[in-house]
Amino acid sequence: MDRIIVQGGEVLNGQVHTSGSKNSALPLLFATLLCDGKFIFKNIPDLKDIDSTRELLGHLGAIAARDGDKYIVSVKDVRDHRAPYDLVRKMRAGILCLGPLLARYGEAIVSLPGGCAIGTRPIDKHLDAMKVLGAELDIQDGYVHAKVKKLRGGNIVFDGVTVGGTENVIMAAVLAEGETIIENAAKEPEVTDLVDLLNKMGAKIQGRTTSILKIQGVEKLCPAEHTVIPDRIEAGTLLIAGAITGGEVTVTNCVPQHLEALTFKMRESGFNISSEADTITVHRCKGWNGTDVTTAPFPGFATDLQAQFMALMTQAEGTSIITESIFENRFMHVQELNRLNANIAHRTQVAVVRGRKGGLKGAPVMATDLRASASLILAGLVAEGETEVARVYHLDRGYERLEKKLESLGAKVSRIRG
């Protein structure tokens, strides 16, 4: 298993490019199951989760391959409607093939994704929504067996915002008979990116970027070309990398509007942040104050930036109270940050960070999940001495060569192949 070694103390400066969004690319790739033909994508990031999705699509009969800066998906009569456990287990978003397979073939046998480090990750909201559209569902041997003659439109009101649930039911509704209304839909930019692709394919979806989506089912869809939006979580992570070291870093090819909750909190803490059309710059800052954050669905503070922001607050003057309201177990980076001599106490949903500039000391630490691994690397940038982050396969699921990007900004960071 690879490890990442960080020598703390370097100030990061310069420009760094944002890759395409993992959490947008995944549903976009599953949407290709909705019709035959050749899809041409651009800005699909080179990540383990994309490789896992390609493997699952291949198993179903949709062939995906990178061709230069393009990512081609050729779909011809998907023959297998079964998404096996060993593929879905590796990448939970595999559950997103449920909606497209049901819509197109009236049948899907999809492994329950199971939980992960940050929570039990249930899919009850996905399944309840499919039932509203007329699907018959049966759980057997860890698989969802779903079937329907023809999906029909219905009214869905999510009792809690679910990104994947919204994406799954949108992909089911676009080929259903009649109109579907989804209320309390997730408004994440990745959901909007999926709506934009589906409308290019001939779907009739109104209400993009809002929490109420109105979908008129159509008979057929066609393949399309699409460029994936930039990864707002990677962009936020890179911005924090500049901030935590007191440097000046410009993140390019990003969407500042997608990061307003983060930049608001960083400004509140004392940072000077400026932005242009597709860049955000954090300016040099000698010292910043603690500030409180509660994670929330978009446009609130992204739960996927909570761990990274916590690393930043370990260097703040004063205390920060960080409340994680989305997942039930998303503080596993706390004990690892404390191994680096941070001073953080936490209960289930709330962490209290007592900041102290320069207090971190390098040590071996363990990545437990995707965003926690980024948080530990950020902390290593300012810890005295060497920090070794183990189990970085978590990192590779969601970041495209993060250590290379940090190195290009002046960080002393390397990967040891293990």
Positions touching ligand EPZ (CB under 6 A) are 23, 26, 93, 119, 121-126, 160, 162-165, 190, 303-304, 326-327, 370-371, 398
Per-residue CA distances from 103 to 130, 166, 311 (Å): 10, 15, 43
Q: Which is nearer to ligand EPZ, 163 or 344 (CB)?
A: 163
- The least CB distance from residue 272 to ligand EPZ, in Å, is 28
CA distance 351 to 347: 6
Q: Which of 35, 97, 116, 222 is catalytic?
A: 116
Comparison of 249 and 374: residue with beta carbon closer to ligand EPZ? 374
- DSSP-derived secondary structure letter, 8: T
Peptide bond into 84 cis (omega under 30): no
Q: How far is the CB of 24 from ligand EPZ (least distance, A)?
A: 8
Nearer to ligand EPZ, 130 or 383 (CB): 130
- Nearest distance, CB of residue 367 and ligand EPZ, angstroms: 12
Nearer to ligand EPZ, 190 or 403 (CB): 190
The neighbouring-strand residues paired with 279 are 252
Residue whose CB is nearest to ligand EPZ in the complex, by number: 164
Burial class (CB in 10 A: 0-12, 13-18, 19+), 345: exposed
Helix (H) or strand (E) holding 132: helix 124-132
Our CB check for ligand EPZ shows the closer of 168 and 291 to be: 168
Nearest-approach distance from CB 276 to ligand EPZ, in angstroms:
26
CB neighbour list of residue 229: distance below 8 Å, 6 or more residues apart: 20, 21, 24, 43, 189, 190, 193, 255, 258
Instruction: Find the shortest distance in angstroms from Cβ 143 to ligand EPZ.
Output: 16
Name the helix (H) or strand (E) containing 226.
Answer: strand 225-227
Q: Sign of the C-alpha dihedral, residues 398, 400, 404, 405? A: negative
Beta-strand relationship, 386-390 and 3-7? antiparallel
Q: How far is the CB of 370 from ligand EPZ (least distance, A)?
A: 5
d(CA 80, CA 88): 15
116 catalytic residue (yes or no): yes
- 369 vs 403, beta carbon nearer ligand EPZ: 369
Positions annotated as catalytic residues are 116
